[in-house]
Amino acid sequence: MARGTIIELSSGVSPSCPYYLGDSVADQLPAYLRRHTFDEIYLVTSDRLHARFGGALARVLGDANIAVNVLTVREGEAAKGWQQLTELCERLVAAGVTKDSLVMAVGGGMISNLVGLAAGLTYRGVRYVEVPTTMLNLTDGSLSNKQAVNGSLGKNQFGMYYAPLFIWADVAYIRHEPVRQHRSAITEAIKNGLVNDATWFERLEKLLTPDLAAVQDDLLGFCHDVVSSKQSILALDPGERHAGIMLEYGHTVGHAVEFLSAGRLLHGEAVGIGMCAAAGVAVRLGLCDPEVLHRQEHILADRLGSVTGLPRELTAEQIVEVIRNDNKRRAGATIRFVLVPRIGTVRCVDGDYETPVPEPLLKSVLTEA
């Protein structure tokens, strides 16, 4: 796909929003912004990302006679909490944001979650635009409408569903992202195949190498295909209330491991560990063949070059304790998992896409992992 071309898609969830995908298309952003009426742009990013991307993007907007105010926030999961959320909301108001303004998040999932939630809370909702600068946010996080901050007991415990005005996905921002970050994002792409599309999973089995050479050769095309792999799932359940729960495969343990690692593990690395734990649970319950676990471990460890085992410093008891406070928990004390009986299919019984898992069995699997 040629640089400068913009592919117009939609986020796929409900409510949906336009998703503009391209390569080196920053100069076209002012024209897309002018499809909407607004007074000023409040561009929120980090100091590091402002030096890399945000400053140049602000100049593009300024050269197009669009008024831009830049605010920077702290990066990292440790900063994704109530304190910084409150500070950002107050700073937006003090800087002069109005109901007619646009708030623009320039960053990865942490910044987008923080800014999206601040936009949704300020004046009961100020429109915002999402500009992802990581592959994970570009191909996965930005499609969800989920805005949240962490609590003291777990990840993403406080938030809301709040859709962007549109998503501006420019792969130029992710071209020189570290390979480890790309591996983290591709774990979610692998998950999409595991739960819904065996053909996509098999394609990734052949395509992936630890250096991600084939991905870099056609970054725009690959990102387009990853987005499509998630959209095909969202199309089944745009509200993510029924079949859409399959997107949480690996996230029950994954979110707990990510939270406990305090930033040492990337999101996709933690989810990969969580997927292997879920497959281990399914094998122990007699609900899937060990081959599913073996192929999953092979693609993550050997083809992608990512991690599959729990960090030694984490205990099963610690992980289960965090899971008890998971943001998706329902009534009752039973832990529930999305399970994959065979590649491309999620276990569903009477319309329920989650399976109860006995706590002792889960602890046993985690101890082995």
Percentage with pLDDT > 90 across the chain: 90
Residue 327 clears pLDDT 80, i.e. is over it: no
Q: Residues 75, 177, 188, 248: which is the catalytic one?
A: 248
Mean of pLDDT values over 62-69 = 98
- Region of 212 on the Ramachandran plot (φ > 0 left; ψ -120 to 50 alpha; else beta): left
Cα–Cα dist 146/124, whole Å: 16
Residue 369 clears pLDDT 90, i.e. is over it: no
- Is 248 one of the annotated active-site residues of the chain? yes
Mean of pLDDT values over 170-199 = 97
Q: What is the pLDDT of residue 3?
A: 79
Respond yes or no on whether the N-terminal peptide bond of residue 358 is cis (omega within 30° of 0). Answer: no
Residue 117 clears pLDDT 80, i.e. is over it: yes
Query: Crossing angle, helix 219-234 and helix 179-196, to 10 degrees?
Result: 40
Residue 332 clears pLDDT 80, i.e. is over it: no
CATH 1.20.1090.10 in the chain is located at 179-368
Band the pLDDT of 329: cuts 50, 70, 90: low
Q: Residues 80, 130, 146, 155: which is the catalytic one?
A: 146
Question: Which sign, positive or negative, has the C-alpha torsion 80, 85, 87, 89?
Answer: positive
213-269 pLDDT per residue, tens = 999 999 999 999 999 999 999 999 887 778 999 999 999 999 999 999 988 999 999
Q: What is the pTM of this model?
A: 0.94
CATH 3.40.50.1970 in the chain is located at 6-173
Band the pLDDT of 337: cuts 50, 70, 90: very high
CATH node for 6-173? 3.40.50.1970
Mean of pLDDT values over 340-352 = 96
CATH node for 179-368? 1.20.1090.10
Cα–Cα dist 55/311, whole Å: 38
